[in-house]
Amino acid sequence: MSIRSNVLDLRKRKREIQKGGGDKAIEKQTQMGKLTARERIVALLDKNSFHEYDLFVEHSAKDFGMETKVLHGDGVIIGTGTIYNKPVCIFAQDFTVAGGSLGLMHARKITKIMDHALKMRVPLIGINDSGGARIQEGVNSLAGYGEIFFRNTLASGVIPQISVILGPCAGGAVYSPALTDFVFMVENISKMFITGPGVIKSVLGEEISMEELGGAKVHAEITGNAHFYAVSEQECFEQIKKLISYIPRNNISKAMPFPPKPPRKGKKIEDIVPGDSRIPYDMREIIKSITDNSEFFEIMEHFAPNIIIGFGRMEGETVGFIANQPMVLAGVLDTDSSDKSARFIRYCDAFNIPIVTLEDLPGYLPGVDQEHAGVIRHGAKILYAYSEATVPKITVIIRKAYGGGYIAMNSRHLRADFVFAWPTAEIAVMGPEGAANIVFRKEIAEAENPEKVRQQKIQEYKEKFANPYVAAAQGYIDEVIEPRDTRGRILHGLKVSENKNVLLPNKKHGIPPF
């Protein structure tokens, strides 16, 4: 027998397995508006860069008639490839093979590529499209999930981990995405929940559709489980590629540098912010007036929009931005915005991305719901994350910096490297109205015309404290700067912080207020 016939035999075997669940199942997948696992990998990675492993792996189940069943690749595709010519590890669950259900060998393939990603220090991308545990394999499928979660945790903060939900991801399976850094979801395709609508209806009598319970929009807006929301798989892949362009491959590399570009000429930075600090503006305009080519890649755009997080570049290098958004809820801190920003700070710190904080907030959101939702422990996360972060940290106070909000938003006291303030900054323990009512309570109450005196006292307090100079006099603010110098000041701050070296006390790990 010549080698030629062996090769032909190999090709035939590969063709067979690469068809996944077969034409019928593929047609069904297409009818659901979904690409197949293989199509997804091709769409996401650089052209012809995908190299597959474990194609010939077979399941090991012996019960419930499984011994006679053939499941191609055991319902998952693993391999390596490149995005922007940089290596990534990837797995994609194949819904056309037994609903992408996870059994022992399926999980082993996933953990193999995870181990590889961690060993080689390259990003891991997981495409989830699975009905869940393969019930016929019993505890072996649970073991599989456990092995995946353990590796997600080990790899956390070492390599970027990206989860793409492109189909169902239910029950225990949801915890792998939840342990990873970024979760991508697509309208009408992604579904993520612990217990599905069926169980909820039979046990609790509550009727809800899959999309309403755990669709992309719900997770992007309400739960905060998703970081990116797209209306098509193609848009989702574009988002992933863009993210990859901003982040380092691992915790000892830098993100790929881009050619430096000045911000685009648009509105003048000093014209964006209204003089009256009670009137809102879109903080994204400030960010875009600072970043290279005025580009800003926002993360968790729809969740807790009262704070903005995302990446931009300055002189070609990736910078993480955290900024209060006066346009939504006046930019207050609350449980959700605390969670959102604290995790992002830790991401930037883990991957050596400098953090720029733009501040304009009146404090914390008042309300019974907030207090009872644990705004104390949630709010503490920001303090913890900023204090612990040792990457270069620069703060620019645009307008309001009141009370606990002032401290929380990367103040000098939490070891900001540079704190700048615009001349419009108001750094005080609270806003003039609130402060005047307390400090001058007696004078106001005893006055003949209390309202008039109140207004006078508010004005008095404003003139005295609603400015950056009291804080600057203490050295808490390094410099009061002109708005148009903001980019230059930040750039210089980043430049001189390049070799920043801060050592934290030696410890196994801290105990953050999760």
Q: Is 402 in the site for another protein (CB under 8 A)?
A: yes
* Structure tokens belonging to residue 42: 């091709």
Candidates 34-42, 230-238, 361-369, 500-508; binding stretch for another protein (CB under 8 A): 361-369
Q: Is 301 in the site for another protein (CB under 8 A)?
A: no
Q: Which residue has the tokens 């993210």?
A: 243
**How far apart are the C-alpha atoms of 385 and 340, rounded to whole Å?**
11
User: Of residues 120, 204, 231, 504, which one binds another protein by CB under 8 A?
Assistant: 204
Q: Is 275 in the site for another protein (CB under 8 A)?
A: no
Candidates 55-63, 190-198, 323-331, 374-382; binding stretch for another protein (CB under 8 A): 323-331
Q: Is 304 in the site for another protein (CB under 8 A)?
A: yes
Among residues 249 and 399, whose Cβ is nearest to another protein?
Answer: 399
Nearest distance from C-beta of residue 141 to another protein, angstroms: 24
Q: Is 376 in the site for another protein (CB under 8 A)?
A: no
Q: Cα angle vertex 106, ends 100, 107, to 5°?
A: 115
Candidates 79-87, 114-122, 137-145, 368-376; binding stretch for another protein (CB under 8 A): 368-376
User: Of residues 79, 103, 432, 493, which one binds another protein by CB under 8 A?
Assistant: 432
Using only the alpha carbons of the chain, give its radius of gyration. Answer: 26
Q: What is the identity of the amino acid at 23?
A: D
Q: Is 330 in the site for another protein (CB under 8 A)?
A: yes
Q: Is 398 in the site for another protein (CB under 8 A)?
A: no
Residues 103, 144: contact at Cβ < 8 Å? yes
Among residues 170 and 436, whose Cβ is nearest to another protein?
Answer: 436
Among residues 88 and 398, whose Cβ is nearest to another protein?
Answer: 398
**How far apart are the C-alpha atoms of 161 and 128, rounded to whole Å?**
13
Nearest distance from C-beta of residue 227 to another protein, angstroms: 17
For the chain, report the end-to-end CA distance as a whole number of angstroms: 64
Candidates 8-16, 130-138, 273-281, 351-359; binding stretch for another protein (CB under 8 A): 273-281
Q: Is 280 in the site for another protein (CB under 8 A)?
A: yes
Residues 22, 96: contact at Cβ < 8 Å? yes
Q: Is 197 in the site for another protein (CB under 8 A)?
A: no
The residues near 247 (Cβ < 8 Å, ≥ 6 apart) are 123, 160, 255, 311, 318, 351, 353
| β-pair partners for 297 | 311
Candidates 101-109, 145-153, 200-208, 308-316; binding stretch for another protein (CB under 8 A): 200-208
Q: CA distances (Å), 384 to each of 24, 227, 352, 393, 510, in order? A: 53, 22, 17, 14, 10
Nearest distance from C-beta of residue 94 to another protein, angstroms: 35
3-state SS, residue 395: strand
Q: What is the dihedral of CA 152, 153, 157, 160, to 10 degrees?
A: 10
- Tell which residue, 490, 464, 494, has the closest CA to residue 479: 490
| β-pair partners for 45 | none
Q: Is 215 in the site for another protein (CB under 8 A)?
A: no
Residue 387 burial by Cβ neighbours in a 10 Å radius (0-12, 13-18, 19+): middle
Backbone phi and psi for residue 396, each to the nearest 5 degrees, phi listed first? -120, 120
Q: CA distances (Å), 348 to each of 352, 355, 488, in order? A: 6, 7, 22
User: Of residues 57, 430, 444, 471, which one binds another protein by CB under 8 A?
Assistant: 430
Among residues 83 and 430, whose Cβ is nearest to another protein?
Answer: 430
Q: Is 450 in the site for another protein (CB under 8 A)?
A: no
Other CB atoms closer than 10 Å to residue 352's CB: what's the count?
A: 18
Nearest distance from C-beta of residue 365 to another protein, angstroms: 8
Q: Is 326 in the site for another protein (CB under 8 A)?
A: yes
Q: Is 446 in the site for another protein (CB under 8 A)?
A: no
Backbone phi and psi for residue 87, each to the nearest 5 degrees, phi listed first? -70, 145
Among residues 33 and 367, whose Cβ is nearest to another protein?
Answer: 367
Among residues 354 and 431, whose Cβ is nearest to another protein?
Answer: 431
User: Of residues 52, 270, 315, 433, which one binds another protein by CB under 8 A?
Assistant: 433
Q: Is 328 in the site for another protein (CB under 8 A)?
A: yes
User: Of residues 16, 58, 212, 369, which one binds another protein by CB under 8 A?
Assistant: 369
Among residues 42 and 407, whose Cβ is nearest to another protein?
Answer: 407
Among residues 221 and 298, whose Cβ is nearest to another protein?
Answer: 221
Nearest distance from C-beta of residue 276 to another protein, angstroms: 9
Nearest distance from C-beta of residue 283 to another protein, angstroms: 11
* Structure tokens belonging to residue 90: 């990837």
| β-pair partners for 183 | 163
Q: Is 203 in the site for another protein (CB under 8 A)?
A: yes
Residues 190, 229: contact at Cβ < 8 Å? no
The residues near 368 (Cβ < 8 Å, ≥ 6 apart) are none
**How far apart are the C-alpha atoms of 105 and 124, rounded to whole Å?**
19
Q: Is 221 in the site for another protein (CB under 8 A)?
A: yes
Candidates 126-134, 254-262, 326-334, 475-483; binding stretch for another protein (CB under 8 A): 326-334
Among residues 159 and 185, whose Cβ is nearest to another protein?
Answer: 185
Residues 132, 175: contact at Cβ < 8 Å? no
**How far apart are the C-alpha atoms of 335 and 347, rounded to whole Å?**
19
Q: Is 359 in the site for another protein (CB under 8 A)?
A: no
Residues 204-214 as b/e (b if ≥16 CB within 10 A, e otherwise) read eeeeeebbebb
With CB under 8 A, what is the number of residues at the site for another protein? 36
**Which positions touch another protein (CB under 8 A)?**
203-206, 221-222, 278-280, 282, 304-306, 326-332, 336, 362-363, 365-369, 372, 402, 430-434, 437
